Structure 1
Protein backbone atom coordinates (compact mmCIF):
# COMPACT_ATOMS: atom_id res chain seq x y z
CA UNK A 1 0.00 0.00 0.00
CA UNK A 2 1.50 3.35 -1.06
CA UNK A 3 0.87 6.80 0.45
CA UNK A 4 -1.80 7.70 -2.10
CA UNK A 5 -3.78 4.55 -1.33
CA UNK A 6 -3.39 5.10 2.40
CA UNK A 7 -4.62 8.69 2.01
CA UNK A 8 -7.65 7.49 0.07
CA UNK A 9 -8.53 5.00 2.83
CA UNK A 10 -8.06 7.63 5.56
CA UNK A 11 -10.40 10.06 3.82
CA UNK A 12 -12.93 7.31 3.18
CA UNK A 13 -12.82 6.20 6.81
CA UNK A 14 -13.38 9.72 8.13
CA UNK A 15 -16.33 10.29 5.80
CA UNK A 16 -17.80 6.86 6.51
CA UNK A 17 -17.63 7.29 10.28
CA UNK A 18 -19.47 10.62 10.05
CA UNK A 19 -22.11 9.28 7.66
CA UNK A 20 -22.71 6.16 9.75
CA UNK A 21 -23.39 8.24 12.85
CA UNK A 22 -25.80 10.58 11.05
CA UNK A 23 -27.67 8.34 8.64
CA UNK A 24 -25.89 5.04 8.07
CA UNK A 25 -24.41 3.83 4.81
CA UNK A 26 -20.79 4.76 5.33
CA UNK A 27 -19.75 1.35 4.02
CA UNK A 28 -20.66 2.57 0.54
CA UNK A 29 -17.69 4.93 0.91
CA UNK A 30 -15.12 2.58 2.42
CA UNK A 31 -16.05 -0.54 0.42
CA UNK A 32 -15.40 1.06 -3.00
CA UNK A 33 -12.20 2.60 -1.61
CA UNK A 34 -10.95 -0.86 -0.63
CA UNK A 35 -11.86 -2.18 -4.07
CA UNK A 36 -10.06 0.79 -5.67
CA UNK A 37 -6.73 -0.08 -4.02
CA UNK A 38 -6.95 -3.66 -5.25
CA UNK A 39 -8.57 -5.62 -2.41
CA UNK A 40 -10.78 -8.42 -3.89
CA UNK A 41 -14.57 -8.07 -3.31
CA UNK A 42 -15.11 -10.69 -0.57
CA UNK A 43 -12.04 -9.70 1.52
CA UNK A 44 -13.03 -6.06 0.96
CA UNK A 45 -16.53 -6.70 2.34
CA UNK A 46 -15.16 -8.57 5.36
CA UNK A 47 -12.35 -6.06 5.99
CA UNK A 48 -14.81 -3.20 5.66
CA UNK A 49 -17.09 -4.70 8.32
CA UNK A 50 -14.13 -4.97 10.70
CA UNK A 51 -12.78 -1.50 9.91
CA UNK A 52 -15.99 0.49 10.48
CA UNK A 53 -16.70 -1.08 13.88
CA UNK A 54 -14.57 1.40 15.89
CA UNK A 55 -16.52 4.24 14.30
CA UNK A 56 -19.74 2.74 15.66
CA UNK A 57 -18.21 2.67 19.13
CA UNK A 58 -17.22 6.32 18.84
CA UNK A 59 -20.79 7.15 17.77
CA UNK A 60 -22.08 5.47 20.93
CA UNK A 61 -19.83 7.68 23.06
CA UNK A 62 -20.95 10.78 21.22
CA UNK A 63 -24.68 9.99 21.56
CA UNK A 64 -24.76 8.21 24.94
CA UNK A 65 -26.73 11.02 26.59
CA UNK A 66 -29.66 10.32 24.25
CA UNK A 67 -29.87 6.56 24.87
CA UNK A 68 -33.28 5.31 26.11
CA UNK A 69 -33.61 3.43 29.42
CA UNK A 70 -30.60 1.16 29.88
CA UNK A 71 -32.59 -1.80 31.18
CA UNK A 72 -34.68 -1.88 28.00
CA UNK A 73 -31.57 -1.48 25.86
CA UNK A 74 -29.82 -4.44 27.49
CA UNK A 75 -32.76 -6.69 26.61
CA UNK A 76 -32.18 -5.99 22.92
CA UNK A 77 -28.53 -7.06 22.88
CA UNK A 78 -29.03 -10.86 22.61
CA UNK A 79 -31.20 -10.41 19.51
CA UNK A 80 -28.56 -8.14 17.98
CA UNK A 81 -25.73 -10.61 18.67
CA UNK A 82 -27.60 -13.69 17.45
CA UNK A 83 -28.86 -11.88 14.35
CA UNK A 84 -25.36 -10.65 13.49
CA UNK A 85 -23.90 -14.15 13.88
CA UNK A 86 -26.60 -15.52 11.57
CA UNK A 87 -25.78 -12.84 9.00
CA UNK A 88 -22.04 -13.63 9.17
CA UNK A 89 -22.69 -17.33 8.69
CA UNK A 90 -24.94 -16.50 5.73
CA UNK A 91 -22.18 -14.43 4.14
CA UNK A 92 -19.47 -17.05 4.61
CA UNK A 93 -21.61 -20.05 3.63
CA UNK A 94 -23.77 -18.96 0.71
CA UNK A 95 -23.33 -17.32 -2.72
CA UNK A 96 -23.72 -13.56 -2.53
CA UNK A 97 -25.41 -12.90 -5.88
CA UNK A 98 -29.01 -13.57 -4.84
CA UNK A 99 -28.70 -11.43 -1.74
CA UNK A 100 -27.04 -8.64 -3.73
CA UNK A 101 -30.22 -8.40 -5.79
CA UNK A 102 -32.42 -8.27 -2.68
CA UNK A 103 -30.36 -5.75 -0.68
CA UNK A 104 -31.27 -2.63 -2.73
CA UNK A 105 -34.98 -3.30 -2.27
CA UNK A 106 -34.47 -3.82 1.47
CA UNK A 107 -32.72 -0.46 1.73
CA UNK A 108 -35.31 1.35 -0.41
CA UNK A 109 -38.11 -0.33 1.56
CA UNK A 110 -36.60 0.76 4.88
CA UNK A 111 -36.22 4.31 3.61
CA UNK A 112 -39.85 4.34 2.48
CA UNK A 113 -40.95 3.11 5.92
CA UNK A 114 -39.10 5.98 7.56
CA UNK A 115 -40.39 8.56 5.06
CA UNK A 116 -44.02 7.53 5.60
CA UNK A 117 -43.64 6.65 9.26
CA UNK A 118 -46.64 8.70 10.43
CA UNK A 119 -49.03 7.19 7.88
CA UNK A 120 -47.81 3.67 8.55
CA UNK A 121 -48.34 4.14 12.25
CA UNK A 122 -51.98 4.89 11.52
CA UNK A 123 -52.23 1.49 9.85
CA UNK A 124 -50.22 -0.66 12.26
CA UNK A 125 -50.95 1.38 15.37
CA UNK A 126 -48.89 3.89 17.32
CA UNK A 127 -46.35 2.29 19.68
CA UNK A 128 -48.11 3.69 22.74
CA UNK A 129 -51.34 1.97 21.63
CA UNK A 130 -49.76 -1.48 21.37
CA UNK A 131 -49.82 -3.95 24.24
CA UNK A 132 -46.47 -4.30 26.07
CA UNK A 133 -46.05 -7.86 24.78
CA UNK A 134 -46.75 -6.91 21.16
CA UNK A 135 -44.50 -3.86 21.38
CA UNK A 136 -41.65 -5.96 22.82
CA UNK A 137 -42.07 -8.64 20.16
CA UNK A 138 -42.08 -6.06 17.37
CA UNK A 139 -38.98 -4.36 18.75
CA UNK A 140 -37.04 -7.61 19.16
CA UNK A 141 -38.01 -8.67 15.64
CA UNK A 142 -36.85 -5.37 14.13
CA UNK A 143 -33.51 -5.61 15.94
CA UNK A 144 -32.94 -9.24 14.94
CA UNK A 145 -33.73 -8.63 11.26
CA UNK A 146 -31.53 -5.54 11.18
CA UNK A 147 -28.69 -7.47 12.81
CA UNK A 148 -28.94 -10.31 10.27
CA UNK A 149 -28.69 -7.73 7.50
CA UNK A 150 -25.77 -6.02 9.24
CA UNK A 151 -23.87 -9.28 9.69
CA UNK A 152 -24.25 -10.12 6.02
CA UNK A 153 -23.92 -6.75 4.32
CA UNK A 154 -23.44 -3.76 6.61
CA UNK A 155 -24.04 -0.94 4.11
CA UNK A 156 -27.09 1.13 5.13
CA UNK A 157 -27.45 -0.77 8.42
CA UNK A 158 -28.16 2.57 10.11
CA UNK A 159 -30.99 3.35 7.70
CA UNK A 160 -32.50 -0.10 8.25
CA UNK A 161 -32.33 0.19 12.03
CA UNK A 162 -33.66 3.75 12.25
CA UNK A 163 -36.61 2.90 10.00
CA UNK A 164 -37.55 -0.20 12.01
CA UNK A 165 -36.95 1.29 15.45
CA UNK A 166 -38.79 4.54 14.67
CA UNK A 167 -41.85 2.53 13.68
CA UNK A 168 -42.11 0.62 16.96
CA UNK A 169 -40.64 3.07 19.49
CA UNK A 170 -42.36 6.15 20.89
CA UNK A 171 -39.11 8.12 21.11
CA UNK A 172 -37.57 11.18 19.46
CA UNK A 173 -35.51 10.57 16.35
CA UNK A 174 -32.36 11.63 18.20
CA UNK A 175 -32.97 8.93 20.84
CA UNK A 176 -33.76 6.38 18.13
CA UNK A 177 -30.51 7.34 16.40
CA UNK A 178 -28.57 6.88 19.66
CA UNK A 179 -30.05 3.38 20.04
CA UNK A 180 -29.19 2.71 16.40
CA UNK A 181 -25.58 3.61 17.14
CA UNK A 182 -25.43 1.19 20.08
CA UNK A 183 -27.00 -1.68 18.15
CA UNK A 184 -24.72 -1.00 15.17
CA UNK A 185 -21.74 -1.21 17.53
CA UNK A 186 -22.96 -4.55 18.92
CA UNK A 187 -23.46 -5.90 15.41
CA UNK A 188 -20.04 -4.56 14.44
CA UNK A 189 -18.27 -6.18 17.40
CA UNK A 190 -19.98 -9.48 16.63
CA UNK A 191 -18.92 -9.40 12.99
CA UNK A 192 -15.36 -8.51 14.04
CA UNK A 193 -15.28 -11.55 16.35
CA UNK A 194 -16.55 -13.90 13.62
CA UNK A 195 -14.57 -12.50 10.69
CA UNK A 196 -11.33 -12.20 12.67
CA UNK A 197 -11.38 -15.99 13.10
CA UNK A 198 -13.10 -17.20 9.92
CA UNK A 199 -13.01 -14.32 7.42
CA UNK A 200 -10.31 -13.18 4.95
CA UNK A 201 -9.47 -9.85 6.63
CA UNK A 202 -6.94 -7.44 5.10
CA UNK A 203 -5.51 -6.16 8.38
CA UNK A 204 -3.28 -3.52 6.76
CA UNK A 205 -6.33 -1.80 5.27
CA UNK A 206 -8.20 -2.12 8.57
CA UNK A 207 -5.32 -0.46 10.41
CA UNK A 208 -5.65 2.60 8.15
CA UNK A 209 -9.45 2.89 7.95
CA UNK A 210 -10.42 2.10 11.56
CA UNK A 211 -8.80 5.11 13.31
CA UNK A 212 -10.40 7.49 10.79
CA UNK A 213 -13.87 6.03 11.43
CA UNK A 214 -13.42 6.71 15.16
CA UNK A 215 -12.95 10.43 14.57
CA UNK A 216 -15.75 10.59 12.02
CA UNK A 217 -18.13 8.56 14.20
CA UNK A 218 -17.72 10.84 17.19
CA UNK A 219 -18.11 14.03 15.15
CA UNK A 220 -21.18 12.66 13.36
CA UNK A 221 -22.88 11.68 16.63
CA UNK A 222 -22.35 15.18 18.02
CA UNK A 223 -23.81 16.64 14.82
CA UNK A 224 -26.97 14.54 15.15
CA UNK A 225 -27.74 16.12 18.53
CA UNK A 226 -27.78 19.57 16.90
CA UNK A 227 -29.99 18.72 13.91
CA UNK A 228 -33.78 19.40 14.15
CA UNK A 229 -35.83 16.15 13.88
CA UNK A 230 -37.31 17.09 10.51
CA UNK A 231 -33.88 17.85 9.06
CA UNK A 232 -32.38 14.64 10.46
CA UNK A 233 -35.24 12.59 9.03
CA UNK A 234 -34.88 14.26 5.63
CA UNK A 235 -31.12 13.60 5.59
CA UNK A 236 -31.61 9.90 6.39
CA UNK A 237 -34.39 9.50 3.79
CA UNK A 238 -32.40 11.23 1.04
CA UNK A 239 -29.24 9.34 1.85
CA UNK A 240 -31.08 6.02 2.16
CA UNK A 241 -32.73 6.52 -1.22
CA UNK A 242 -29.38 7.33 -2.81
CA UNK A 243 -27.78 4.24 -1.25
CA UNK A 244 -30.61 2.01 -2.45
CA UNK A 245 -30.37 3.30 -6.00
CA UNK A 246 -26.57 2.93 -6.05
CA UNK A 247 -26.84 -0.65 -4.78
CA UNK A 248 -29.57 -1.43 -7.31
CA UNK A 249 -27.48 -0.09 -10.18
CA UNK A 250 -24.45 -2.04 -8.94
CA UNK A 251 -26.46 -5.27 -8.64
CA UNK A 252 -28.05 -4.97 -12.09
CA UNK A 253 -24.81 -4.11 -13.86
CA UNK A 254 -22.61 -6.67 -12.05
Structure 2
Protein backbone atom coordinates (compact mmCIF):
# COMPACT_ATOMS: atom_id res chain seq x y z
CA UNK A 1 0.00 0.00 0.00
CA UNK A 2 2.68 2.49 1.02
CA UNK A 3 4.90 1.83 -2.04
CA UNK A 4 1.89 2.37 -4.29
CA UNK A 5 0.92 5.58 -2.49
CA UNK A 6 4.48 6.90 -2.71
CA UNK A 7 4.64 6.06 -6.41
CA UNK A 8 1.37 7.91 -7.12
CA UNK A 9 2.43 10.97 -5.10
CA UNK A 10 5.84 11.02 -6.78
CA UNK A 11 4.21 10.78 -10.20
CA UNK A 12 1.95 13.67 -9.22
CA UNK A 13 4.96 15.74 -8.19
CA UNK A 14 6.75 15.10 -11.49
CA UNK A 15 3.57 15.75 -13.49
CA UNK A 16 2.83 18.99 -11.64
CA UNK A 17 6.34 20.30 -12.26
CA UNK A 18 6.40 19.29 -15.93
CA UNK A 19 2.91 20.66 -16.57
CA UNK A 20 3.95 24.10 -15.35
CA UNK A 21 7.21 24.17 -17.30
CA UNK A 22 6.07 22.54 -20.55
CA UNK A 23 2.89 20.46 -20.27
CA UNK A 24 2.27 16.72 -20.77
CA UNK A 25 2.43 15.68 -17.10
CA UNK A 26 -0.59 13.45 -17.70
CA UNK A 27 1.73 11.15 -19.63
CA UNK A 28 3.48 10.40 -16.35
CA UNK A 29 0.54 9.96 -13.98
CA UNK A 30 -1.96 8.26 -16.29
CA UNK A 31 0.28 5.34 -17.40
CA UNK A 32 1.44 4.76 -13.82
CA UNK A 33 -2.15 4.55 -12.57
CA UNK A 34 -3.04 2.09 -15.33
CA UNK A 35 0.11 0.09 -14.56
CA UNK A 36 -0.98 -0.10 -10.91
CA UNK A 37 -4.26 -1.66 -11.99
CA UNK A 38 -6.70 1.24 -12.06
CA UNK A 39 -9.30 1.12 -14.87
CA UNK A 40 -8.45 3.64 -17.63
CA UNK A 41 -11.55 5.77 -17.05
CA UNK A 42 -10.95 5.91 -13.29
CA UNK A 43 -7.29 6.73 -13.91
CA UNK A 44 -8.16 9.48 -16.38
CA UNK A 45 -10.84 11.13 -14.23
CA UNK A 46 -8.94 10.84 -10.94
CA UNK A 47 -5.77 12.11 -12.58
CA UNK A 48 -7.60 15.13 -13.97
CA UNK A 49 -8.90 16.12 -10.55
CA UNK A 50 -5.53 15.60 -8.89
CA UNK A 51 -3.56 17.72 -11.35
CA UNK A 52 -5.74 20.79 -10.78
CA UNK A 53 -3.69 21.63 -7.67
CA UNK A 54 -0.46 21.69 -9.65
CA UNK A 55 -2.01 23.93 -12.27
CA UNK A 56 -3.29 26.36 -9.65
CA UNK A 57 0.14 26.47 -7.98
CA UNK A 58 1.86 27.06 -11.30
CA UNK A 59 -0.60 29.74 -12.33
CA UNK A 60 -0.01 31.60 -9.06
CA UNK A 61 3.72 31.23 -9.58
CA UNK A 62 3.43 32.86 -13.01
CA UNK A 63 1.00 35.57 -11.90
CA UNK A 64 3.31 38.43 -12.90
CA UNK A 65 3.69 37.16 -16.46
CA UNK A 66 -0.06 36.56 -16.72
CA UNK A 67 -0.79 40.04 -15.38
CA UNK A 68 1.43 41.52 -18.10
CA UNK A 69 -0.94 40.00 -20.68
CA UNK A 70 -4.12 40.19 -18.62
CA UNK A 71 -6.41 41.21 -21.48
CA UNK A 72 -5.13 38.40 -23.69
CA UNK A 73 -5.41 35.76 -20.95
CA UNK A 74 -8.87 36.79 -19.75
CA UNK A 75 -10.21 36.89 -23.30
CA UNK A 76 -9.13 33.30 -23.93
CA UNK A 77 -10.08 31.83 -20.54
CA UNK A 78 -13.87 31.60 -21.20
CA UNK A 79 -13.13 29.92 -24.54
CA UNK A 80 -10.91 27.34 -22.85
CA UNK A 81 -13.54 26.74 -20.14
CA UNK A 82 -16.23 26.15 -22.76
CA UNK A 83 -13.98 23.67 -24.54
CA UNK A 84 -13.20 21.88 -21.28
CA UNK A 85 -16.90 21.55 -20.53
CA UNK A 86 -17.56 20.09 -23.97
CA UNK A 87 -14.63 17.70 -23.75
CA UNK A 88 -15.55 16.38 -20.30
CA UNK A 89 -19.11 15.83 -21.49
CA UNK A 90 -17.87 13.88 -24.50
CA UNK A 91 -15.75 11.68 -22.23
CA UNK A 92 -18.86 10.63 -20.35
CA UNK A 93 -21.01 9.90 -23.41
CA UNK A 94 -18.54 8.60 -26.03
CA UNK A 95 -15.99 5.74 -26.04
CA UNK A 96 -12.52 7.05 -25.29
CA UNK A 97 -10.90 4.95 -28.03
CA UNK A 98 -12.14 7.26 -30.80
CA UNK A 99 -10.46 10.36 -29.41
CA UNK A 100 -7.34 8.67 -28.06
CA UNK A 101 -6.58 7.45 -31.57
CA UNK A 102 -5.66 10.98 -32.68
CA UNK A 103 -3.60 11.87 -29.59
CA UNK A 104 -0.25 10.98 -31.28
CA UNK A 105 -1.15 13.19 -34.23
CA UNK A 106 -2.00 16.12 -31.96
CA UNK A 107 1.25 15.76 -30.03
CA UNK A 108 3.25 15.61 -33.27
CA UNK A 109 1.55 18.78 -34.49
CA UNK A 110 2.40 20.47 -31.19
CA UNK A 111 6.07 19.50 -31.48
CA UNK A 112 6.24 20.89 -35.02
CA UNK A 113 4.52 24.12 -33.97
CA UNK A 114 6.94 24.66 -31.10
CA UNK A 115 9.97 23.86 -33.25
CA UNK A 116 9.10 26.25 -36.10
CA UNK A 117 7.53 28.88 -33.85
CA UNK A 118 10.47 31.35 -33.91
CA UNK A 119 10.59 31.38 -37.72
CA UNK A 120 6.83 31.89 -38.02
CA UNK A 121 6.85 34.57 -35.32
CA UNK A 122 9.63 36.42 -37.15
CA UNK A 123 7.70 36.37 -40.42
CA UNK A 124 4.52 37.56 -38.76
CA UNK A 125 6.34 40.33 -36.86
CA UNK A 126 8.05 41.58 -40.02
CA UNK A 127 4.79 41.78 -41.95
CA UNK A 128 2.48 42.93 -39.17
CA UNK A 129 4.08 45.60 -37.04
CA UNK A 130 0.74 46.59 -35.58
CA UNK A 131 0.09 43.08 -34.31
CA UNK A 132 3.53 42.94 -32.72
CA UNK A 133 2.88 46.20 -30.90
CA UNK A 134 -0.53 45.04 -29.76
CA UNK A 135 0.99 41.90 -28.28
CA UNK A 136 3.71 43.74 -26.36
CA UNK A 137 3.55 43.63 -22.57
CA UNK A 138 3.46 47.43 -22.48
CA UNK A 139 -0.13 47.32 -23.77
CA UNK A 140 -1.62 44.22 -22.16
CA UNK A 141 -5.14 45.60 -21.86
CA UNK A 142 -6.01 46.11 -25.49
CA UNK A 143 -9.74 46.37 -26.11
CA UNK A 144 -10.22 42.98 -27.74
CA UNK A 145 -7.65 41.20 -25.62
CA UNK A 146 -6.69 38.86 -28.48
CA UNK A 147 -4.03 40.25 -30.86
CA UNK A 148 -4.34 40.49 -34.63
CA UNK A 149 -7.10 41.11 -37.12
CA UNK A 150 -10.54 39.44 -37.13
CA UNK A 151 -9.33 36.39 -39.02
CA UNK A 152 -6.43 35.71 -36.72
CA UNK A 153 -8.57 36.31 -33.63
CA UNK A 154 -11.13 33.84 -34.87
CA UNK A 155 -8.38 31.33 -35.54
CA UNK A 156 -6.98 31.74 -32.02
CA UNK A 157 -10.43 31.38 -30.45
CA UNK A 158 -11.26 28.27 -32.50
CA UNK A 159 -7.91 26.70 -31.71
CA UNK A 160 -8.15 27.30 -27.96
CA UNK A 161 -11.70 25.90 -27.94
CA UNK A 162 -10.67 22.73 -29.78
CA UNK A 163 -7.68 22.24 -27.49
CA UNK A 164 -10.00 22.82 -24.53
CA UNK A 165 -12.25 20.02 -25.81
CA UNK A 166 -9.22 17.79 -26.10
CA UNK A 167 -8.04 18.75 -22.61
CA UNK A 168 -11.41 18.06 -21.04
CA UNK A 169 -11.55 14.67 -22.76
CA UNK A 170 -8.06 13.32 -22.09
CA UNK A 171 -5.54 16.16 -21.82
CA UNK A 172 -2.18 14.46 -22.48
CA UNK A 173 0.26 17.10 -23.78
CA UNK A 174 -2.48 19.72 -23.91
CA UNK A 175 0.03 22.27 -22.65
CA UNK A 176 2.45 21.51 -25.49
CA UNK A 177 -0.33 22.01 -28.03
CA UNK A 178 -1.45 25.30 -26.47
CA UNK A 179 2.10 26.67 -26.39
CA UNK A 180 2.71 25.54 -29.95
CA UNK A 181 -0.50 27.02 -31.28
CA UNK A 182 -0.16 30.38 -29.50
CA UNK A 183 3.49 30.53 -30.55
CA UNK A 184 2.39 30.33 -34.18
CA UNK A 185 -0.74 32.47 -34.03
CA UNK A 186 0.64 35.33 -31.90
CA UNK A 187 3.92 37.21 -31.42
CA UNK A 188 3.75 36.98 -27.63
CA UNK A 189 7.08 35.79 -26.15
CA UNK A 190 7.45 32.12 -25.36
CA UNK A 191 7.81 32.76 -21.64
CA UNK A 192 4.56 34.73 -21.56
CA UNK A 193 2.78 32.14 -23.72
CA UNK A 194 3.89 29.47 -21.25
CA UNK A 195 2.42 31.48 -18.38
CA UNK A 196 -0.92 32.01 -20.17
CA UNK A 197 -0.89 28.31 -21.04
CA UNK A 198 -0.87 27.44 -17.34
CA UNK A 199 -3.97 29.55 -16.73
CA UNK A 200 -5.88 28.10 -19.69
CA UNK A 201 -4.97 24.47 -19.03
CA UNK A 202 -5.79 24.83 -15.33
CA UNK A 203 -9.16 26.31 -16.27
CA UNK A 204 -9.88 23.38 -18.58
CA UNK A 205 -8.91 20.84 -15.92
CA UNK A 206 -11.01 22.63 -13.30
CA UNK A 207 -14.07 22.72 -15.55
CA UNK A 208 -13.67 19.03 -16.41
CA UNK A 209 -13.26 18.22 -12.72
CA UNK A 210 -16.55 19.92 -11.89
CA UNK A 211 -18.32 17.87 -14.57
CA UNK A 212 -16.76 14.65 -13.27
CA UNK A 213 -17.68 15.39 -9.65
CA UNK A 214 -21.27 16.13 -10.62
CA UNK A 215 -21.86 13.32 -13.11
CA UNK A 216 -19.13 10.66 -12.76
CA UNK A 217 -18.47 10.21 -9.05
CA UNK A 218 -18.33 6.45 -9.50
CA UNK A 219 -15.22 6.92 -11.66
CA UNK A 220 -13.33 8.94 -9.03
CA UNK A 221 -10.83 7.30 -6.68
CA UNK A 222 -10.49 9.95 -3.98
CA UNK A 223 -7.35 8.38 -2.49
CA UNK A 224 -5.62 8.74 -5.86
CA UNK A 225 -6.94 12.29 -6.20
CA UNK A 226 -5.53 13.21 -2.80
CA UNK A 227 -2.09 11.75 -3.47
CA UNK A 228 -1.77 13.40 -6.88
CA UNK A 229 -3.08 16.68 -5.46
CA UNK A 230 -0.35 16.84 -2.82
CA UNK A 231 2.38 15.81 -5.23
CA UNK A 232 1.21 18.04 -8.08
CA UNK A 233 0.79 21.05 -5.81
CA UNK A 234 4.38 20.82 -4.63
CA UNK A 235 5.60 20.09 -8.15
CA UNK A 236 3.68 23.05 -9.53
CA UNK A 237 5.30 25.45 -7.06
CA UNK A 238 8.77 24.18 -7.95
CA UNK A 239 7.98 24.18 -11.67
CA UNK A 240 6.97 27.85 -11.59
CA UNK A 241 10.30 28.76 -10.01
CA UNK A 242 12.30 26.70 -12.48
CA UNK A 243 10.31 27.72 -15.57
CA UNK A 244 10.71 31.46 -14.97
CA UNK A 245 14.50 31.10 -14.97
CA UNK A 246 14.72 29.17 -18.22
CA UNK A 247 15.78 31.10 -21.36
CA UNK A 248 13.30 30.83 -24.28
CA UNK A 249 15.62 28.65 -26.39
CA UNK A 250 16.12 26.15 -23.57
CA UNK A 251 12.41 26.16 -22.73
CA UNK A 252 11.58 25.43 -26.35
CA UNK A 253 14.12 22.59 -26.40
CA UNK A 254 12.58 21.08 -23.26
CA UNK A 255 9.10 21.33 -24.76
CA UNK A 256 10.19 19.54 -27.94
CA UNK A 257 12.08 16.87 -25.99
CA UNK A 258 9.17 16.15 -23.65
CA UNK A 259 6.83 16.09 -26.64
CA UNK A 260 8.95 13.51 -28.46
CA UNK A 261 9.17 11.35 -25.34
CA UNK A 262 5.40 11.64 -24.82
CA UNK A 263 4.75 10.66 -28.43
CA UNK A 264 7.04 7.63 -28.18
CA UNK A 265 5.38 6.63 -24.91
CA UNK A 266 1.93 6.72 -26.48
CA UNK A 267 2.98 4.77 -29.58
CA UNK A 268 4.76 2.09 -27.56
CA UNK A 269 1.82 1.62 -25.21
CA UNK A 270 -1.00 1.85 -27.74
For normalisation by structure 1, the TM-score amounts to 0.92
Measure the CA separation in 1 of the matches of 2:269 and 2:18.
20
TM-superposed deviation, 1:213: 0.3
Q: Is the 8 A contact 2:77 2:199 kept in 1?
A: no
Asked if 1:7 is matched to 2:26, the reply is no
Aligned to 1:56: 55
Q: Which moved more, 1:94-103 or 1:132-141?
A: 132-141
Q: Which 5+ residue runs of structure 1 have no aligned equivalent? A: none
In the superposition, relative to structure 1, how do residues 15 and 127 fare at CA in structure 2: closer, same or farther (>3 Å)? farther
Note if contact 1:127-1:135 (Cα within 8 Å) is conserved in structure 2. Answer: no
Q: Which residue of 237, 250, 262 maps to 1:231?
A: 250
Give the Cα–Cα distance (whole angstroms) in 2 for the partners of residues 3 and 223 of structure 1: 29
Moved over 6 A (4+): none
Counterpart position of 2:184: 167
Which residue number in structure 1 is paired with residue 215 of structure 2? Answer: 198
SS at match of 1:76: helix
Alpha-carbon displacement from aligned partner over 1:59-93 (angstroms, at most 9, x marks no partner): 00111111143223211122111101111122111
Alignment of 1:44-123 (within 5 A): 44-67=43-66, 68-121=68-121
Q: Distance in 1 between matches of 2:96 and 2:74?
A: 32
For the aligned residue pairs, the C-alpha RMSD in angstroms reads: 1.7
* Contact persistence 2:11–2:28 (CA under 8 A): yes
Q: Give the distance between the partners of 1:32 and 1:222, measured in 2 at CA.
A: 27
Partner of 1:220: 239
Query: What is the distance in 2 between the residues matched to 1:115 and 1:142?
Result: 18
- Compute the TM-score of the two structures, normalised by the length of structure 2: 0.87
Deviations 1:143-166 (A, max 9, x none): 112111100111111101100111
Please state how far the C-alpha of 1:127 moved relative to its aligned partner. 9.2
- For the pair 1:183 / 2:200, whether they are aligned, the reply is yes
Question: 8 Å contact 2:17–2:240 — kept in the other structure?
Answer: yes
- Structure 2 gaps of 5+ residues are 132-147
Task: Mark the CA change 1:128 to 1:137 in structure 2 (over 3 Å): closer, same or farther.
Answer: farther
Q: Which moved more, 1:218-227 or 1:113-122?
A: 113-122
Partners of 2:187 and 2:168 lie apart in 1 by 27
Q: Which moved more, 1:60-69 or 1:127-136?
A: 127-136
Helix, strand or coil at the partner of 1:164:
helix
Q: Distance in 2 between matches of 1:227 and 1:175?
A: 12
Q: Tell me which moved more, 129-138 or 7-16.
A: 129-138
